[in-house]
Amino acid sequence: MFARLATPAPVIDANNDKVQQRATARGTKRGAHLAVMGLSHAYKKSDGLVLKDIDFEVQPGEVLALLGRSGCGKSTLLHMLSGLSLPSAGEVVINGNTVRAPSPNWVMMFQAPSLYPWMSVAQNAALGLRFARRSDEIAKRIPEVLDLVDLGSFADRNAQDLSGGQQQRVALARSLAPSPEMLLLDEPFSALDAFTRRSLQRDVRAIAKQLGLTLVLVTHDVSEAVRMADRVLVLDANPGRIAEDTAIDLTDEQREGGCDRFNAEHVRLMDLYTQVAHGDAAPTEEFERN
Amino acid sequence: MTDATHTPDARIGLPRLTPGRVRSLAMAALGIAVLLALWWLGGWVVANDPDMFAFADFAPAPTLAALWDIVRTGEVIDMSLPSLYRVGAGLLIAAALGVPVGIAIGRIGWLRELTNVPFQFLRMISPLSWMPIAVMVYSTWDGAIVFLITVAAIWPILFSSAAGVRRIDPSWLKVARNLGASPFHMLFTVILPAIAVDILTGVRLALGVAWVVLVPAEYLGVTSGLGYSINDARDTLDYSRLAAVVVIIGVIGFALDSLLAALIKRFNWVRAAH
Q: Residues B159-218: pLDDT tens digits?
A: 999 999 999 999 999 899 888 888 999 999 999 999 999 999 999 999 999 999 999 899
* CATH code, domain with B119: 1.10.3720.10
Does B171 contact chain A (CB < 8 Å)?
yes
Tens digits of residue pLDDT in B213-235: 999 899 877 888 898 999 888 88
Contact status, residue A121 vs residue A79, Cβ threshold 8 Å: no
Q: Are residues B38 and B66 in the same domain?
A: no
Is B255's pLDDT higher than 90? yes
d(CA B155, CA B125): 11
Spatial neighbors of A98 by CB under 8 A, at least 6 apart, are A91, A92
Q: Cβ contacts (< 8 Å) between A160 and chain B: which residues?
A: 269, 271
- Domain total of chain A: 1
Does A289 contact chain B (CB < 8 Å)?
no
B10 located within any domain:
yes
Q: Are residues B50 and B114 in the same domain?
A: no
B273 located within any domain:
no
Among A103, A112, A174, select the one facing B180 at the smallest CB separation. Answer: A103
d(CA A32, CA A51): 23
Is A129's pLDDT higher than 50? yes
B32 located within any domain:
yes
Interface touch A127/B189, C-beta < 8 Å: yes
B272 located within any domain:
no
Does A90 contact chain B (CB < 8 Å)?
no
A77 located within any domain:
yes
pLDDT of residue B271: 67
Among A108, A118, A130, select the one facing B269 at the smallest CB separation. Answer: A118
Does B181 contact chain A (CB < 8 Å)?
yes
Domain that holds residue A124: 60-84+106-279
Q: Are residues B128 and B139 in the same domain?
A: yes
CA dihedral over B141, B147, B149, B152, signed as positive or negative: negative
pLDDT of residue B48: 85
d(CA B216, CA B230): 10
CA distance to partner chain A, nearest, from residue B265 (Å): 13
Contact status, residue A261 vs residue A290, Cβ threshold 8 Å: no
pLDDT of residue A22: 43
Does B189 contact chain A (CB < 8 Å)?
yes
Among A110, A128, A130, select the one facing B171 at the smallest CB separation. Answer: A110
Q: Are residues B35 and B73 in the same domain?
A: no
Is B95's pLDDT higher than 90? yes
Contact status, residue A19 vs residue A11, Cβ threshold 8 Å: no
Does B187 contact chain A (CB < 8 Å)?
no
B274 located within any domain:
no
Does A108 contact chain B (CB < 8 Å)?
yes
Contact status, residue A66 vs residue A74, Cβ threshold 8 Å: yes
Among B20, B40, B56, identify where a domain stops. B56
Q: Are residues B8 and B101 in the same domain?
A: no
Contact status, residue A240 vs residue A68, Cβ threshold 8 Å: yes
pLDDT of residue B274: 38
* CATH code, domain with A225: 3.40.50.300
Task: For residue B262, give the nearest of B12, B18, B89, B27 by alpha carbon.
Answer: B12
Among B2, B177, B190, select the one facing A84 at the smallest CB separation. Answer: B177
- Domain total of chain B: 2
Global confidence as pTM: 0.78
The ipTM assigned to this model is: 0.75
Interface touch B6/A161, C-beta < 8 Å: yes
Does A274 contact chain B (CB < 8 Å)?
no
Q: Are residues B81 and B166 in the same domain?
A: yes
Domain that holds residue B37: 1-56
Q: How many CB atoms lie within 10 A of CB B152?
A: 27
Q: Cβ contacts (< 8 Å) between B7 and chain A: which residues?
A: none
Mean pLDDT over A65-73 rounds to: 85
Tens digits of residue pLDDT in A72-112: 888 889 999 988 888 888 889 998 888 888 888 888 998 88
Q: Are residues B40 and B165 in the same domain?
A: no
A232 located within any domain:
yes
